[in-house]
Structure 1
Amino acid sequence: MFLLNMKLRSCNFFFIFFLVCIHSGFSQQTRESLEREKNENLNKIKEGQKILKETEVVKNATLGKLNVVKRQINSRVKFISTLKNEINYINKEVIDLNLVINFLERDLNKLKLEYGEMIYNSFKSNSSLNKIIFIFSSKTYNQFFRRIQYLNQYLEIRKNQVKQIDKVSKQLNNQKDNLIKRNNDKKDLLNQEIDENRSLESLRKKQSNIIQDLNRKQKKLRKEIESRKKALREVDKLIAKVIRDELRKKDKDTSLSIEDDDLSEDFEKNIGKFDWPVISGFISNKFGDNNHPILKNIKIKNDGIDIQTKKDSRVKSIFSGIVSTVAFIPGMNNVIIIKHGNYFSLYARLKNLKVEKGDVVKSGDYLADVITNNEGTTELHFQIWKNNIKLNPEKWIYRK
């Protein structure tokens, strides 16, 4: 019976050890996932801080400044949500760790008691004569061999008991260290959450002040809308002409259609995977009809997306192709259109042009820099077309 109890204790130890390992594995995976999400949001906040700092060179309230502040508020809210999730997870983890520690402590106490019993019993029957009498008092050969086997098992379990006590002790100490660490992590996260909430409140006040200032400039904002519409109409005319010219070329030379179809097929394979045309930044105006952030009941049509970025950001080609045209349009500054088979990508509000009409470019080639306007806003206008059909560029670039 004693040997059976010892075997059960051994199985129980390995079961506990298995639970500890599983708990540690799942904890590590979840922690890494939360940490990755937190770092992504933190990077967005840092990126936004740099862009906001550049827009604040101009003291007046601007739409560019409002866009960055909105973006920062959104990033802070997500970051705080991630902190809360991490704190909640740590709370659950602490509960689990306490359960494991209690389990290990109970198991360790039982192991020590059982080992004490083994030592006591061994002391009582320490005499070699007693062991010999025990073996040779067997009434049958089967009983004789069973008693030898019993004594051998007893000695082996006694050795293993010491090892088990050592292993459980180490596991117990490790889990106690983990508990201290996770409680300290929780304190750090709670302090970080307090700081982030203060920053969020400050941003919301800044947003409110910018909106108030912009509301006093509605007449100016309406003029800016008209100027933007005029500039976009000129962009539409430009790309429509480029597409018409390219279609005429294909009508005259059928081999061009085959080449375009091959390149178009490669282009289509990259939907949702294209690099952004600028390294850093965020989408400040989406594709389609957008509500004006200040003027009520006013919608602004956008045939592409606007990406607000840092000053002097480099613009890269999203795919290999041929530069169809380079032009200047008031309100959009320099414009580059690149042909990718049956697809076209358009980049506007540029300076320091690095390519000319007819140049062959590869994916990632440096095309130009984004210009910064008089209000301190650095914003790229970006479009994608399939022949004469406007496409939503946000669906083609990878999701940040």
Structure 2
Amino acid sequence: MKYFKALIIFFLLAIGSNQLFAQTRAELERRKAQLNKDIEMINNTLKKTASSKKVTLQQLNALRAQIRLREEKIRTINSEVRLLDGQINENLNTVKSLQSQLKQLKVDYAAMIRFAQKNQGAYSKLMYIFAANDFNQAYKRMKYLQQFSEYRIKQANYIEETQNNLRGKIAVLNKNKQEKDHLLTDQQKEKNKLGNEQANQAKVVKTLTSQEKKLKQNLAQKQRDAAKLDRAIREAIQREIAIAKKKAEDEARAAAAKAKAEGKEAPVAKSSSGSILSATPEAAKLSADFVSNRGRLPWPVSNGVITDGYGKRNVVGNVTSENNGWNIRTGANASVRAVFGGTVARVLEIAGKGVVMIRHGEFFTVYQNLKTISVSAGEKVSTKQSIGTVGADEEGVSEIHFELWKGMQAQNPSLWLAN
């Protein structure tokens, strides 16, 4: 019976472990599938620029994004291999334990068979019962013989069940080993591709470094366009602050007049830009809801890859670039969507690129490089609502520039958007 209890515990642990393994493996497979889609999208954009002999910063950004995605895919494969190694070791231990239990079950069963053979005659059983000292002992001996027969049948069933489970575990173990071999082959292929991409990146960096003066001129124009966008954003936020401040002052005067008429003390008015933007109950709730979704906000496009991230970075050589948001490469004519509910604060055009700015209480999101715009200033929008379609450059590459602000301060989108 103790072996049967051990088997039950074993199987329960194995079921729980297998469910966890399946869940984690499924998550890794989903991430790998998404990475494959992202890599394919970057490959397609690189193919578009491959026909041109001109080496551009966009091409370098795409290569860097491709390498980053490839490295993440290799890390994902490594995680799958480690997961399979753990499962293989666990299954090996299970197989060894089942083999040990099966061996002991067979030993016990053989002993029972030998005992049964020695006492298989009806006469021997009767003599065993009649040799009892009293009726109570005779009854117990009779029950013992009955239970012994039943236990022998159960023991045979335990042996058969253990053999079936052992065969099943061995089959799973072999499947795990085959999956690991496939993953290791895939991993080596990805490493080879990564090596080729890194070599290609080195060539592009070398070419751009030799054209440093021209690259600086191109970046200077981009920075001027970025400065125009920055000024437009700040002006729009200042306008929203002014409107909110005037509304708050009007409400404060009305509240003071009412308090004076009722002989009460007038309430203290809020003064900071953040509190002014969240002065009304609706704006305060919107701000709080926005904050509660930190790290879980959807992307402005359903499928895309970051080619230029937030902050200041070195491009090549002594050339640096600064970004107040993200540049996200996506599919042609992709729908651009609001990352959260709010009100359209401004719709404008900067350097020939459509821009939509949405207010979410004291927060603002900005969407630049829209080919078409389907919303207007003052319109309320909901989370994931389409606000237009993404535009493309002269090489047919589709990218959206996205920024997120809290009052007058630009925020890193990676802290707010879902990873």
TM-score category of the 2 structures, normalised to the smaller one? 0.7 to 0.9
Change (3 A) 1:196 1:341: same
Q: Is the 8 A contact 2:21 2:87 kept in 1?
A: no
Answer whether contact 1:308 1:380 (CA < 8 A) is retained.
Answer: yes
For 2:77, give the aligned amino acid: L
Q: Aligned partners of 2:187, 2:119: CA distance in 1, in Å?
A: 64
- 1:231 is displaced (CA, Å) by 1.0
CA shift digits 1:281-317 (9 cap, x unpaired): 12222223222x2132x43232222222222221111
Question: Helix, strand or coil for the counterpart of 1:372?
Answer: coil
Equivalent residue for 1:45?
A: 36
Matched, 1:208 2:202: yes
TM-score, reference length from structure 2: 0.84
Whole-Å separation in 2 of the counterparts to 1:128 and 1:196: 74
Whether contact under 8 Å (1:312, 1:370) holds in the other structure is yes
Q: CA deviation at 1:94?
A: 3.3
Deviation at 1:154, TM superposition (A): 1.1
Name the counterpart of 1:302.
323
Could you list the structure 1 runs, at least 4 aligned residues long, displaced by more than 6 angstroms after superposition: none
d(CA) in 1 for partners of 2:4, 2:343: 69
Matched, 1:260 2:283: yes
Residue 129 of structure 1 corresponds to 123
Matched residue, 1:363:
383
Q: 1:125–1:74: structure 2 CA closer, same or farther, 3 Å change rule?
A: same
Q: Distance in 2 between matches of 1:392 and 1:91?
A: 38
Q: Could you tell me which amino acid in structure 2 is paired with residue 49 of structure 1?
A: E
The answer (yes or no) to whether the contact 2:39–2:70 under 8 Å persists in 1 is no
Matched, 1:373 2:393: yes
Deviations 1:250-272 (A, max 9, x none): 23323694143333233222222
| Equivalent pair of 2:38/2:304 in contact (CA under 8 Å) | yes
Q: Please tell me whether the aligned partners of residues 38 and 305 of structure 2 are also in contact (alpha carbons under 8 angstroms).
A: no
CA distance in 2, matches of 1:304, 1:52: 23
SS at match of 1:98: helix
Measured on the aligned residues, the alpha-carbon RMSD in Å equals 2.4
In the TM superposition, residue 35 of structure 1 has moved relative to its aligned partner by 4.2
Q: In the alignment, which of 341, 345, 352 is matched to residue 324 of structure 1?
A: 345
1:25 aligns with 2:16: yes
Distance 1:13 1:61 in 2: 71
> Helix, strand or coil: the match of 2:302?
coil
Aligned twin of 1:249: 243
Deviations 1:311-348 (A, max 9, x none): 22211112222222211111x61111122222221111
SS at match of 2:321: strand
Q: Deviations over 1:10-37 (max 9, x none)?
A: 3124314522442353244235314422
| Matching of residue 174 in structure 1 with residue 195 in structure 2 | no
Confirm or deny: 8 A CA contact 1:323 1:338 kept in the other structure: yes
Deviation of residue 101 (structure 1)? Answer: 2.6
Query: Would the alpha carbon gap of residues 288 and 23 (structure 1) be closer, same or farther in structure 2, given more than 3 Å must change?
Result: same
Measured in 1, the distance between the counterparts of 2:366 and 2:81 equals: 45
Task: Work out the CA distance in 1 between the residues paired with 2:82 and 2:240.
Answer: 58
Distance 1:374 1:218 in 2: 22
Tell me the secondary structure at the aligned position of residue 133 of structure 2: coil
The alignment status of 1:144 with 2:131, answered yes or no, reads no
Q: Is the 8 A contact 2:354 2:372 kept in 1?
A: no
Query: Alignment partner of 1:226: what SS?
Result: helix
List runs of 5+ in structure 2 lacking aligned partners: 252-276
Q: Which of residues 36, 61, 70 is equivalent to 1:76?
A: 70
